[in-house]
Structure 1
């Protein structure tokens, strides 16, 4: 029985077409002619037995099958690239990297990253600071970090890589009943992106609410929630296993939040690039 195998080269061309918006731009980026790009796509469609594009006016756009392949192809290419990056840099990475990360991601994301990364690259020293995103991104403090993972509620910043546009959700302990008269809130201090969004949305409706507890640390907020002091808001991808998504007719939609990566490291760019790939693979 013959085994079918997709060409990673064809998949990389396909992903470039989707992300750049045309065969011509993909060809320019890859240094190939448009006929060569078209031939690659014909081979890919022939191998899959599916059309991947639909003609819209004078341009081609991915169809349902193309959208599915795009997501799968990105994962395959990421694994391929990670293998080469890891095996080519595993023995050579060394240096010190200063990472800034929001406290909620420090508790859910950091343990898996630090453990695996530090084991694989023992000669890299990680200096991690956990704080509110707004403090990490303060212009006077950014110079203190090589790599920053942060939440952004502002317009897109030119030096930011948006890893995920995540749902902002209400979080609490579903074993605790919410006060029927006044919504109790446990929030981080002023300057927190979550706090600003929560207050802005609640002010647009008529239900009563009050802040019952304030703490900048996620573990402090979790303890307050477990004691029945109220509910809070978090990016869905940072939801701790100990907490639940809360549904209540009085709770307005909080919309989405951008999770961004800011890479400022110029002293150890390969270290920063490799850690960025670790973070990127785990933010989903």
Structure 2
């Protein structure tokens, strides 16, 4: 195995200045070195790469084919270096409030751990939290009202990848019995709702009737109605609690899984607090 070669950021910075049309003398002034030192930098770079990067004569300096290949790499390396340095400068956390959104499914089961870890690392960041339905959260990220959101996966330009995929389950009161000859009483969000659609489509495919017994705009409302025995609902395992059971054994049809994604606004602008929150969310769901 040959020796590892680590390209020097300062050398690449000089290379980029010359590639962008600066003379060796102008580059030397900009980087705070002598022209001969800049010339030595380029010679070192060419030695490391094993190929000349500039073609020089008395009138001009031009990129060689190797220099053209290096150009894109050099820009990315220098940009990544500058973004990393910027992320650790004092005052980065004072950019403003970090606005976070999540669906109600994760508000109690997942967010306390994520937010606790975030507060340990960023004690001075003002964090605001919006708990809402997926469609509203995605719209809020699109409009710039939220910086990061966890919501049901949609084909959307701000979708930054799937966090987790969780089976939907039927949930009812502990000990609940259903008459197989009667329509299934449903406790649901009002439409549009992916869980509501999955429940109704599943029952229809199984040739099983249903009636909507209760609707609510909040998860706490659904929980209350199910605990009271008004009917069954469809959510993820995160809604399970004392007195609430997975009741698929009652002969209810199988359900699909639901995927949740991260939605991030202006991801290309470095922001340590936001980027760390995104990392914590990913780690929590990968655990």
- TM > 0.5 between the two? yes
> Could you tell me how far apart the structure 1 residues matched to 2:140 and 2:99 are?
16
Query: How far 1:209 sits from its partner (Å)?
Result: 1.2
How big is each residue's C-alpha offset from its partner over 1:116-152, in whole Å with a ceiling of 9 and x where there is no partner?
3224321111111111112212378542110010012
Compared with structure 1, are the counterparts of its residues 203 and 116 closer, same or farther at alpha carbon in structure 2 (3 Å cutoff)?
Answer: same
The C-alpha deviation readout for 1:69-118, integer Å capped at 9, x for no partner, is xxxxxxxxxxxxxxxxxxx7999644411111111211222222223322
- Which position in structure 1 is the counterpart of 2:163? 163
Partner in structure 1 of residue 247 of structure 2: 246
- The within-5 A match list for 1:12-23 is none
Q: Which runs of 5+ in 2 are unaligned?
A: 1-87
Contact 1:168 1:233 in 2 (8 A): yes
Q: Distance in 1 between matches of 2:156 and 2:145?
A: 22
1:157 offset after TM fit, Å?
5.7
Segment drifting more, 109-118 vs 253-262: 109-118
Which string of whole-angstrom CA distances, capped at 9 and with x for unpartnered residues, describes residues 207-236 of structure 1? 121111111211111111110011111133
Q: Which runs of 5+ in 1 are unaligned?
A: 1-87
Task: Give the corresponding residue for 1:269.
Answer: 271
SS class of match (1:221): helix
Partner of 2:42: none
Contact 1:186 1:231 in 2 (8 A): yes
Could you say which structure has the larger radius of gyration? 2
Give yes or no for contact 1:172–1:231 (8 Å, CA) kept in 2: yes
Secondary structure, aligned partner of 1:203 = helix
Q: Contact between 2:188 and 2:196, CA under 8 Å: does it hold in 1?
A: yes
The secondary structure found in structure 2 opposite 1:178 is coil
Count of residues in correspondence between the two structures: 195
Output the CA distance in 1 between the equivalents of 2:161 and 2:144. 18
RMSD: 2.7
Could you tell me which residue of structure 2 aligns to residue 111 of structure 1? 112
| Distance (Å, rounded) in 1 between the aligned partners of 2:90 and 2:175 | 46
